[in-house]
A and B are shown apart, each in its own frame.
Chain A
Amino acid sequence: MTDDAIKTAIFQLLKHIAPDTEPSQLKPDENIRETLNIDSFDTLQFIIALNEILGIEIPEQDYGKITTIQNLVSYIRDKKK
C-alpha cells in the first residue's frame, strides 16, 4: 500500500466521521484531533474504522504515535509491512 493510498483512506474515514471538515486540508504535522475538533468518541470510531478497513489494530498505548497525518501514515505503513 502506497503512502498516497493510505492518506486517501485516512481522509475518507475522517470525512465520514466529521463530515463538515476538510481532512485533506490537514498539514502533515498538524494535530488531527485538535484541527478537526474531534472528541474521544469520534477518535474511537476512527480507530475502529481503521481496523475494519485497513485491518490494523492500534493499541491504546500507541494513540500518542498517531496524532498527525505524517505519524499516522508511517505508523500504518510499518504495521502493513
Chain B
Amino acid sequence: MIEFQMPSLGADMEDGTLVEWKKKPGDTLKRGDIIAEVETQKGLIEIEVFDEGIISELLIPEGVKVPVGTVMALISPTGETLEAKKEAVIDIQPTEEKIIENRNLKISPLARRIASDHNINLSLLKGTGPDGAITKEDVEIAIALRDNKSEAKIKEPGFEPKKETNTAAIEAIRSAIAAAVSKSNREIPHYYLEKKIDLTKALAWLLEANSQRPVKKRLLPIAILIKAVAKTLLEFPDLNAIWENGLQPKKEINIGFVVSLRSGGVMVPAILQAETKNVDAIMETLNDIIPRARALKLRSSELSGSTITITNIGEGGADTVFGVIYPPQVALIGFGNSSEQPFAENGMLGIRHVLNVTLAGDHRATDGLTGSRFLSSLDKHLQKPELL
C-alpha cells in the first residue's frame, strides 16, 4: 500500500489544510493526476501524485490542517481491496490501552489534557512543536484522524478551511519568504560572482524571430536567458543540485522562476525539465505559470521541484541583483536591468546591450571557479542565440 502524504512544498512549509479531495476511493490514479487541493502559505495548491494505483482510502477529512508528512490517503498499487492494510496509519490510530504517561514526553499541559479527554495514546504521537514537543494541534489532528469516518469537523479556528483575505494571504507569503531566507542565511555560506554579458546578438535574434510571429507567440528576452541557463547547467551538474547531507546533483533541470506579486511578496514556480524545452516551449510555460503564480494557483510539483532559481529584475530596474539561495538548492542566478553601455572589444569601442548576470553559490557545494566557469559558458551560449 502506498501512503500519500502531505507533501513539503519548500523548506519553509510546516503544514497545509486539505481543502478538497479531487479523487474518491476506487478512482484510478496515474502519475501527475491532481489528487487534492491544499491551502498553504503559498496559496491554494493542486497536489499531484507520483504513484499509479487505485485509491483505497481517504484518511483526512476536508477542512483539516495537518503537518507535512501526515499520511492523507492510501493508494493500492495493484488494486488491493479497500479493506487491506488499514494498519498503515497505526502511528495515529487510537488504541484502547491506558495512556502511557511518559514523564519525559515533551507536551504542553493543555495538549495532555485534551489527549486524555479523548483517549489518545501520546506515546504513538509524533510531536511537531519545538524539539519534537507534542502540541495541542498534534493531538487534535490525531483525534480528527480517528474520527474522520464521521463528518468530524473540528470547530477550532485553525481547522477551518481558511478563506483568507488578501491581506492575510500576503502576510502568509511574507512569513514563508522570511522563513526560507532566514534558513538560507543561517545555513548557506554564499559566495557571489558577477559577469557583464553582451546581449546585443541575442536581442537582435529575438527581434527578428518576433517579427515573423503572431503577437501571441512573441518571445521575451527572459525566455532566451532561461534556455541558455538550462543549456549551460548541463555542463555544470554541481550547480543544479540540492544540499542534503552532502551534495546531490539532480538530473532534471527544474528552474524556479521568481515571480513578483503586485501586492508584495514573491512566488517561485518551477519551469520543469527546462533542459528538454526549446525557447518557444519555455515562453509557453512562462505564459502559463506567471498568471497562475500571481493568482496563487500553482501545482505541487511546480512549488517543490526546483533544482536552481532564477531571479530577473527586468527592464528599468536595478542593474545587479545578488540573490539569496532557496534551500536546499545550491545556486541562484540573477539577471539585472539590461541597458545600452559603452563596450570595448578587440580594441574597439562600441555601444552594446549589456546585462549584469550574477551567481550566488553555496560554498559548501561549489567554489568560485565553478561559478566563474558557469558564467563564462553562459556568456558563450548567449553569443550564439540561434543554437539555443
Contacts and interface: CB of A to CB of B under 8 A. Distances in A.
Interface string A5-49: 000000000000011100000000000011001011100100110
B284 to A, nearest CB: 13
The 3 closest A-B pairs by CB, nearest first: A51-B215, A39-B314, A48-B215
Contact of A37 (B215, B218, B221, B262): B262
B186 interface: no
Interface string B66-89: 000000000000000000000000
Contacts of A64: none
Interface residues on A, range: 10 to 19
B155 interface: no
Interface of A: 18-20, 33-34, 37, 39-41, 44, 47-48, 51, 57-61
Contacts of B210: 60
Contact of A60 (B218, B260, B262, B290): B218
A29 B271 CA distance: 38
B216 A60 contact: no
A59 B206 CA distance: 12
A47 B215 contact: yes
Contacts of B215: 47-48, 51, 57-58
A2 B286 CA distance: 35
B218 A44 contact: yes
Interface in B184-222: 207, 210-211, 215-216, 218, 220-222
Contacts of A19: 262
A34 B218 contact: no
B315 interface: yes
A48 B216 contact: yes
Interface residues of B, number: 17
Given A18-B262, A33-B316, 18 more contacts: A20-B263, A34-B316, A37-B262, A39-B315, A40-B222, A40-B314, A41-B220, A41-B222, A41-B286, A44-B220, A48-B215, A51-B215, A51-B216, A58-B215, A60-B207, A60-B211, A60-B218, A61-B207
A34 B317 CA distance: 10
Contacts of A34: 316
Contacts of A59: 211
Contacts of B221: 40
B319 to A, nearest CB: 16
Given A40-B314, A41-B286, A41-B290, A20 B220 contact: no
B262 A20 contact: yes
A19 B315 CA distance: 21
Contacts of A20: 262-263
11 contacts: A20-B263, A33-B316, A40-B221, A40-B222, A41-B220, A44-B220, A48-B216, A59-B211, A60-B210, A60-B218, A61-B207
Contacts of B290: 41
Nearest to B315: A40
Nearest to B283: A44
B148 to A, nearest CB: 39
Contacts of A57: 215
B293 to A, nearest CB: 11
Of listed B222, B260, B262, residue having the most chain A CB within 10 A: B262
Nearest to B262: A20
Of listed A19, A33, A44, A57, residue having the most chain B CB within 10 A: A44
